[in-house]
Amino acid sequence: MTSSSAPSPAALSQLRPTDAAGATVALSCIAVTASGIALSLSPLWSVWAAGQLLLALSFVQWFALLHECGHETLFHTKRLHAPLGHLAGFFSLIPFRNWKSVHRRHHKWTGWQDVDPTTQALVPRVLGRVERAVVNMVWRLWIPIFSVIYRTNNFWNWPRLKTLFSKREDQRSLAANMAVLLVVYAAIVVLLGPATSLRLFGVSLLLTFLAEDLLILSQHTHIPLQLSGGEDVRPFPTIEQEVFTRSLVFPRWLSAFLLHIDAHELHHMYPFVPGYRLGEVRYETENEVGLLAWIRGAHALPGDLLLFHNRLETGADI
């Protein structure tokens, strides 16, 4: 039975991760990835296409696993998160240490658009004519550039990372993770060759970015957020962050496969709950919207209005 009032975090203290559940999720993701690669090596185009779809699905699942490992909510044994987190980061094209550091700040400052490092780029501002035209064009044509920018600006932008994390030891760790991943990616392209690498991963990554554009933009975009204006502000408690995020409603099988990454409001309210147990939280959040309804509503807006304005300004209740 769904409750009309949000349960307290203490009331959900029993929803904790287990090593068995975490291992099951990790092994299933590895199996799907291996199957996708095997099928993508086939000379038959139909088999190859099925492999690309399977690989894309696994890449999004790796992103969900990266998210869980960053919160240390996949396993009961904490030390298991770093090894799997680095593997998930490899498949997600995001350095795990960088993800964990930036994402921790995101959760701390959710609601303050100009303080949260993942929403600062979308602080309302006057766009130039060319910038507005480009944003509107790529959004209208479904060119999946936003999940790429999300990665490069938040997790690969070394000058910005140095500004966010001033401690020398943090900077060394972040830089090392970036360098190792770049070497590994380069080695794979050299060993396989550019043509085979593109055949194996080109279309699957394009499909992944298309899916993640919708997922990432749905979570905090076009929702009224606060601006600090440079003043010292206090973080919003997690239980109060519901109003600053949005949840999509995926088909049940897809939501379970992706560790309920669509239940974004619940995750912000109860970040200690493993994604695979969010379905046990009996509370209907206020910004929940169906996947297809959100896609229709979001794509009915020009890109600049979707990204740099909110529903109070445009009247688009998405």
* Secondary structure percentages of the chain, helix, strand, coil, to 5: 65, 5, 30
User: How many CA atoms are closer than 13 Å to the CA of 174, on its beta-carbon side?
Assistant: 23
pLDDT of residue 36: 98
d(CA 32, CA 27): 9
Can you read off the two tokens belonging to residue 241?
């962050």
pLDDT of residue 2: 66
* Phi/psi at 294 (5° precision): -70, -40
User: How many CA atoms are closer than 13 Å to the CA of 22, on its beta-carbon side?
Assistant: 25
pLDDT of residue 229: 94
Distance of CA 177 to the CA centre of its chain: 19
pLDDT of residue 3: 66
pLDDT of residue 317: 87
* Phi/psi at 252 (5° precision): -55, -40
Ordered mean pLDDT values, 10 residues apiece, the chain (318 residues): 82 97 98 98 97 98 98 98 98 98 98 97 94 96 96 97 96 98 98 96 98 96 96 97 97 95 98 97 95 96 96 92
pLDDT of residue 1: 52
Give me the residue spans of the domains in the chain: 9-314
d(CA 155, CA 274): 23
